[in-house]
Structure 1
Amino acid sequence: MPGQRAGAGLSTVRQFEAAGFRAWPAAAVHYDGTWVVRLTAGHPAKRLNSVNPLDPRDVHDLPERVMRAGRRFEAYGRPLTFRMSPLAGAPLERHLEGEGWIRFGDSLVMQADLDNAAVNGAMDQIPLKDMGRFVTATMTTHATDATLRAGLSEIIGAIQPEVGLFALERGDEPLTTAICVHEGDLAGLFEVATAEAERGKGHGRRLVLSALKWARLRGARRAWLQVEADNPAALRLYRGLGFTELYSYHYRRRPEG
């Protein structure tokens, strides 16, 4: 079951889910009741290609609605995927479980107070203005397939809140990259990655702190992020920076074959 940590009521979950939709926008968004169907032809990321239920009470006509969502995903050439946050609710979880849907991609939403010594003492860094340069850098640190360049550029270009594109480089060699999305009192971190040969050297910590300082100087008070639960290196980094778990989510997909 997706879970909530102490103090994370459904209203808080809704706040962060909505912030996530705005900060990492899908190319197409459809609604079926309170289900948000997000689809992106240019990028296969699960967050951008998933059904996101937003009310645990909205569980009527489940077989028919699942079928409708499946037709939309089929038109995009994507496997039908549900993203199960605490807003999905137990009845939908039981329905998918009963139909044999596979659970995968367990993830955590974490938050941190930005008024702390580590952020205050971070190195000032100006975000990149050249999106093409940033996309090249982040595709290198993530070892991303070159065919996804256009799709990633489209996603970043569609972000509506203020966005900071950060890269730590050695000459022309990108070491670490991150995206920081500032909206009101929130600063969301996305696409944080360090080149494989440069991991464990403190580059990620340095760049993340600089990105958070940039957002704090613009009025952000809380940082947040989404991270896969089976990524121990990232969890060590974020917990070391004061991030704590707010709630969890996972994905469901029909078994292949």
Structure 2
Amino acid sequence: MQLPVPDLNPRFDSQLLSRVEDAGLNASAPPQQRWVDGWLVRFSAGKAKRARCINAVADGRLSVASRLAQCEQVYADAGLPMVVRITPFTRPAHLDDTLAEMGLRSIDDTRVMVLDRLDALPALDWPAGWSAHNIGLDPFAQRVGALRGSPLSQRQAHAERLLHSPVPFTAFELREQGEVLACGQYAMEGDLVGLYDVYTAEDARGRGCASRLCLHMLAHARSRGARHAYLQVEHDNHSARAIYHRLGFADGYAYHYRTR
């Protein structure tokens, strides 16, 4: 008998949440990654921690301390801090407690939010002069990086990851009379769609840009066969979480990181 994975929202099927976790790993895969005794070690220079952290997805054979020592060398060679991602699927199951005892601090409490049915999306109304446009992945990485104020190295690493992703991304800009109000993209894997990098220009916030762009992307993905949706958002990003709740998303599970 298979035991349930702890800390998963019982509202959702646990197999769906496991698929969401796999899809999120696939969508964030950078070219810079390797395996260390059952741990997927990623060391991209980009902004997203998902692409520059350890995902402990298998028990392995070595001790935690031995694996951490090998991983720390990987990150030292890459000039990056070592970061470990902790989820309900992390192996070994006691890893979070072990890392805490070793003095690694917890950061970036994050929620994976899930919409299990896309057949009942709210109607989308565009204000006059608004329109959504598909754009290329390299221009998208530059656009969202510019809106965030990211340095060129992070924008280039983001573009590289998108262009080499094992799952396809589709990116959009929301414009008003040619001016960019917001941008976002989605990753499609089977009947799962993940929303990523939804960002609204600072002077356009509070106008419903993000909710409309998300609705547009979800409807676009649904027309291509998507049935379920997911996204990842920091727990204290209350404005974004309110938007996603109104769209029908609910917390599926949480994750955080540990670092020195």
The aligned residue for residue 77 of structure 1 is 79
Q: Which runs of 5+ in 2 are unaligned?
A: 1-5
CA contact (8 A) 1:109 1:227 kept: yes
Equivalent of residue 56 in structure 2, options 53, 57, 76: 53
Displacement of 1:103: 0.2
Distance 2:13 2:63 in 1: 26
Equivalent pairs, count? 250
CA contact (8 A) 2:121 2:215 kept: no
1:90-114 deviation per Cα after TM superposition (whole angstroms, max 9, x unaligned): 4211110111110000101111121
CA contact (8 A) 1:109 1:245 kept: yes
SS of 2:134's equivalent in the other structure is: coil
Distance 1:65 1:9 in 2: 32
Q: Which runs of 5+ in 1 are unaligned?
A: none
Distance 2:209 2:134 in 1: 17
The aligned residue for residue 255 of structure 2 is 249
CA contact (8 A) 1:175 1:203 kept: yes
**Quick one: structure 1 residues 130 and 51, their matched pair in 2 at CA, closer, same or farther if it must change by over 3 Å?**
closer
Instruction: Write the mapping of 1:148-227 to structure 2, written as runs, cut at 5 A.
Output: 148-227=154-233
Displacement of 1:26: 1.5
Displacement of 1:27: 2.0
Which moves more between the two structures, 131-140 or 144-153? 131-140
Displacement of 1:117: 3.7
TM-score when normalising by structure 1: 0.88
Equivalent of residue 30 in structure 1, options 31, 34, 37: 34
Equivalent of residue 136 in structure 2, options 115, 130, 139: 130
Distance 1:59 1:126 in 2: 50
CA contact (8 A) 1:13 1:87 kept: no
Q: Percent sequence identity over matched residues?
A: 30
Equivalent of residue 235 in structure 2, options 209, 229, 233: 229
**Quick one: structure 1 residues 135 and 45, their matched pair in 2 at CA, closer, same or farther if it must change by over 3 Å?**
closer
Superposition RMSD in Å: 2.3
Equivalent of residue 87 in structure 1, options 56, 80, 89: 89
Distance 2:243 2:187 in 1: 19
SS of 2:75's equivalent in the other structure is: helix
CA contact (8 A) 1:59 1:92 kept: no
Equivalent of residue 107 in structure 2, options 88, 104, 107: 104
SS of 2:248's equivalent in the other structure is: coil
Distance 1:98 1:64 in 2: 16
Question: AA paired with 1:100?
Answer: G
Distance 1:217 1:50 in 2: 34
SS of 2:211's equivalent in the other structure is: helix
Which moves more between the two structures, 224-233 or 8-17? 8-17
- Are 1:40 and 2:44 an aligned pair? yes
Instruction: Write the mapping of 1:142-153 to structure 2, written as runs, cut at 5 A.
Output: 142-153=148-159
The aligned residue for residue 3 of structure 2 is none
1:15-48 deviation per Cα after TM superposition (whole angstroms, max 9, x unaligned): 222211221221222112321111113x142111
1:88-146 deviation per Cα after TM superposition (whole angstroms, max 9, x unaligned): 2542111101111100001011111211141x546697652434432332223323223
Question: AA paired with 2:234?
Answer: E
**Quick one: structure 1 residues 157 and 99, their matched pair in 2 at CA, closer, same or farther if it must change by over 3 Å?**
same
Displacement of 1:181: 1.1
Question: AA paired with 1:210?
Answer: H
